[in-house]
Structures are given as structure tokens and as C-alpha cells.
Structure 1
Amino acid sequence: MRVLAAMSGGVDSAVAAARAVDAGHDVVGVHLALSRMPGTLRTGSRGCCTIEDSMDAQRAAAAIGIPYYVWDFSERFAEDVVDDFVAEYSAGRTPNPCMRCNERIKFAALLEKALALGFDAVATGHYASIVTGADGSRELHRAAAWAKDQSYVLGVLTAEQLAHAMFPLAATPSKAEVRAEAAARGLTVAQKPDSHDICFIPDGDTRGWLADRVGTATGDIVERDGTVVGSHEGAHAYTVGQRRGLAIGHPAPDGRPRFVLEVRPKDNTVVVGPKEALAIAELAGARFTWAGAAPADPTLPFDCEVQIRAHADPVPAVARVAATPTGGTELVVTPAEPIVGVAPGQTAVVYVGTRVLGQCTIDRTVSAVPAVR
């Protein structure tokens, strides 16, 4: 099988490419140039897809003995990930750029080009499993090591994309084993730090980065009953669940800290309240997909688990597809116990056992603690 190995310059993708070769596949390595600043350098574990990562990927490909190319996807990345990130924050939502990158770059733009060039699959260093049924259908499942499981960020994959995906690290019990294997193979990335944070904001200053692009505008910080308790310099700088940086001039009547409960970009208002008001009894999203076969009748409630962050614990829930007042449909998820700190724009991934059933981008939430008017 002809396999295109996406090589980020990290240890996981390098070992994944090597294992694909060991499995007998005809493998070609490719690094995606996603930055419009090709001279960008990596700072420790911050950032990825830099010129240094490209060189690390090239050295790994040479050590493995496979052809290596760099593909410029910077324009597509800017439009589909960076611009989307800015637009979501401007709309008062909290986006997950890693989800958008997997959805629109690694398993859309990259896979599309790979198939056009005659490749059968794209291999990545993600920790997740694909299970093939007797009828040839494929399901996405958690990796063997739950501590490193990355199935959440792959929840956006469709059945067609799963049909051409390959995750050689699926059964690996630990990251330490991957690093040891990389060292044994003579790969110089064996001890390279994992990347974290948002790759296109390598200094970690999301508020400052957004202010440069969206601008600042003074607005009110209000309680749920509309009482003004402070001011801010731009609603885009706040996310649901945030406590620090509110700069409220006086304490709440009960003396307890306030948290961001809602961001309203239309009137540039940030709504705050007690921590218990962050508890969410229901969440829903109209932008939903199924990772493989959908439930036989998704309009009937079905038991599942829901996960709203990459490293959050899954929560027992009931889900169903329901009609919306505008004539569309949405995936509605009702957790068995309220989930704290759910923000519109986040991704809710639905599991049945270890299987990723599907996902939705959260459009609305229902608080378990209604506001007192």
C-alpha cells in the first residue's frame, strides 16, 4: 500500500512513519509548511511546524530511508484555521484550532492531495485506533494508553476519511516506549519535547495576539441580572470559566469569586457569576458529524459518554439528534451530572465505550443553575 506519512518533526510522527515502512508499505514522508513566516524558530516546547521542525522531519526521513517533501499549506492553514480562530473568538466562542487543523488540513486538504497523487492512506503519529468490522466498515477508538489517547482531537473525522487513515502508534502502551524506539532507530528527535499550546501563537499570549487582530473596545462586565460590576478592553479576551484578569472593582455581595459565564460580542459584554452557575445541564450543536456509521435512528435517545476537552474525563450522558426552530437539526447531549465550564465553540466528542461515535461544535448550553431575575 502507498502511504503518505505526515511528519511534523516530532518523535511520534517519525516513529509512525518508520513503523509504516516496517509493515511493508511504500512510504513517502511529507512535512506541512503551515506558517507564512518560514524563518520562524521553535522555542522549547512552544509552537510547531517551524523551520526547525521541517529540518528535524527531513533528518528523520533520511534515517528511515524514505523520500521526503515539504508541502506549502500555509494559505489554506491561514484561511481554515487561523482566520476561523479569530472569527470564533470575535463571535464570543472558544474554538479549538487543533480540531480545525485535523478536520480541514491533515484529513481534508492533505488527504485530498494524497489520494489525487495515488496514495492509499495518510499515516500520522496520533495515539488512536481504527477497528475494521467484518463488513469492511471502520470505527475510530481510543488508543491503548488512555493517558496519551488523542481520539478526542480526531473526533471530527468522517467515515470516508477513516477509510484512508492510518495510526501506527495505536497499540503503544506509553510515550516512553516511543522515545526508546526512536533512540534505538537512531532518530535525533527521540528526546525532543512535545509541542503544546497554540502553534501559531508560540509565545502563549493569546489575549495580546487577538488584540492585535481584533482590536480593543471598552465594554461592561455584568452580573446575570444585568448589574454592571466592572469594565474590560475587549470581550474577545475572555472565555467561559475564566476567573483571573476580570479586574472587577468590588467584591460580590457574598464575597465569593466571580467567573465568566458568557461572552456577548454583539454588545461587547462579559457576564460573570458564581462558580456553580458554570454547571451545564445540556449542550447542543448544529455542526455535527459521525466518525463512521451513525446510530440506526439518531433521533432516538442513546446512552453515551461525552468529552468536552482533550484531557477531560468522559461523562455519562444521553444524546439524540433533534430539530431546531429554524428547520435544521442539532446534536443534543444531556450529561448525567452537570459539566462545569462548557463554552460555545468547544467540541463535544461522543463516545460509546472506547468508540468515537461523533462530535459537534457546541452552539448553545443550558445552565443547571438558572439566573434569578
Structure 2
Amino acid sequence: MYSDRVLSGMRPTGRLHLGHYHGVLKNWLRLQNEYQCLFFVADWHALTTHYDAPQAIDQNVRDMVVDWLAAGIDPAQATLFVQSRVLEHAELHLLLSMMTPLGWLERVPTYKDQQEKLSEKDLSTYGFLGYPLLQSADILIYRANLVPVGEDQVPHIEFTREICRRFNHLYGREPGFEDKARSAVKKLGSKKARVYEECRTAYQEKGDQEALESARALLNDAQNLSMNDRERLFGYLEGSGKMILAEPESLLTEASKMPGLDGQKMSKSYGNTIALREDPDVVAKKIRTMPTDPARVRRTDAGNPLNCPVWQFHLVYSDDNVRQWVTAGCTSAGIGCIECKQPVIDGVLAELVPIRERAQYYEDNPDQVRNILADGSEKAQELARDTMRDVRESMGLTFG
């Protein structure tokens, strides 16, 4: 049984490309073997910037999930679901909005940045201002403690941690909390209970951070505690009330090393992508027509691989021997650019063969995709309901 829970989502943008595969999906493939993972389609998030074009969302969801499955994401290992099918996300977002200071949202770094980048759209909407809070609700509803993000997304996780602390501070004191916490301590067993109490005393009396971390690790490893008791003991440890919501941590991921065909970041908006299900002849043609070192005007001109977008592909797909061959041949004009590109074509096509084969199965069996998402959404909803039961109770929303 995994003690850590990972949550990650993607906006439905349609068919995915090699940038998505190397930047996100390969990381998900590793994580699904190591943690309890929930991977979701962030369809509500798509509406925060494309509220005026909802027509494409349904097909985009289908196409994106087929690519997840084709890449090897396994619904037997990870829970795959659609955000809008778990209405508890919206309820928690609403309740969190009641206690979130407006200034916190306006300070999120991507708020003004995105408004400038998407200046052709009217983003002066409540939904766009509140989308970081919806992201927080996505994470907190599952008490996910690990969220894989790149450096640019770390501020969103910090924002979520602040929201979590504020919520627990405002609503975390339940009736009879200390009696319930002391009762939960006994469930640890005498030895672990003693260690927990020693660590709690050391932290609360002396501010001993190592003792705090030791006690947290002990609670994370305790197999016989219910989620409620675990959260009570986290709160009791830190001198607060029951931790209704759990603070997540960033799980930093490496930036994708996959460049676009023109050397920029691979992105649909730049028109420089290779899709995971692209026809092999189209892939080969795209790579053959890639720009190369501008210094190589003629076949006899020497070049420098570092000035050539194709070299970035060699760093992803070629071994040391091929790279040495490219470097020697390019700098001496011993090989032409078409020769240089062939190992890249071979490497990309080989990587895409199993992906295309798996995708074909799901394209031929669309009900499979619907069933996987329906089952995953049901599992996700069970977890979300547990959290919302505690949230409603802590906020006094239990009348009747």
C-alpha cells in the first residue's frame, strides 16, 4: 500500500506530441509504478482561457486520453478521470473562495503573465482570476501530498500550501479534538506512541524541526490509522486542530529536453511539433526538412552541431557513437545534413511504433476509453467525498 499520493492533470488540448511525451508522460510512467497516482483531464481549466470555444473540449478529451493510454499510462495502476465528473472539485473551490484573500490571487505570478501572453482574449473574468484556487481545490480534495511540477509551477503549490494552512487554522478545531487525538495516539502501539509523544514535546517546547519531521514520517508509515485519525495526529503534533486538508509538496520534474522542429520549445502554437500518432512518412518528411546550421549553405561547407536544431534531437535519440560521428562529419563537411538526420528519423519512428499500435486499439474501441474514465471518475469521487465530509463538518455545513 502506497503512503504517498500523487496528483497531476493536463488541460485537454487534443492530440499530444513528443514534447508532452518527454516532458510529462514519461514521468507519469515512472510515478505510476512508485506511488498511488491520480491523473486527471482538467476540462474546467480549459474554460478559464477558452470559455468562448467549448465545442472542441469533448473531442480533445478523447484524443488526449487515447494518447495517455498509448504512451503506457495504465488504468490498473493509476486512476484516470475527468475533473468535471467529480463535482466535489467545484464545491471545495467555492468553499475555499469564501476565505481566500483577493490579494493572494492577484499576486500569483502567472496571473498578469498569462493576461499579457493571451492579450487577444478578454481574461478579466472571475474564472481566470480564480483558476489558481481551482488548482488548489484539485489537489486538496484528494489530500495529495505530492504534485509533479516544473520550476514555473512551484508558486502554485506554495499558494496551495498557504490556502491549506489558512483553512486548517480557521476550521481545524473540532469538538473534543484533544480527547480524540489522545485516543488516536494509543492506536499507534506503545512504542510508536512513546516516540510520537517525545517528538511532539520536543517540537512544541523547543521548536525542534528534526523531531517534527521524525513524527511526520512515523505517521506517514503508520498502517493502522484511519485518514481522520492521521490528520488529527498531524494537527495535534503541530499544536493546531485536526488537519482537515493536507499540505502538498512539489515533486520537481526536469524540463523536457525535447525541442521543436525549429529549435524552439515544441508547441502547437509554433507549428513545430511531431504528434504521437503522426503518419511515419509525415514524420520522416518533417525531420528531413528541418532547418540546419545556417553556415552550411552548400554540402561542402563545414558546420557546427551546436548551431543546428537537429543536434538537439541527437541529444534525445542518439548514443555517444552516433553523436561523435555527427560532430566529426559536420565540422569537417564529411557528411551532409540529410545523412545527419537519418539516425534521428530512425530513432523517432522506433519510439512511436508501440505508441501508434496501442493508440489504434483504443481508436477502434472508443467504449474502452469511456469506461476507463467512468471507472476512474467513480474512484476519484469516493476519495473526494471523504474529504468533503470533513470539510462540511468543520465549516458547520451539516444541518439536516
TM-score normalised according to structure 1 size: 0.29
The one of the two structures with greater contact order (alpha-carbon pairs below 8 A, sep at least 6) is: 2
TM-score normalised according to structure 2 size: 0.27
Give the structure with the higher percent strand: 1
Answer with 1 or 2: which has the greater Rg.
2
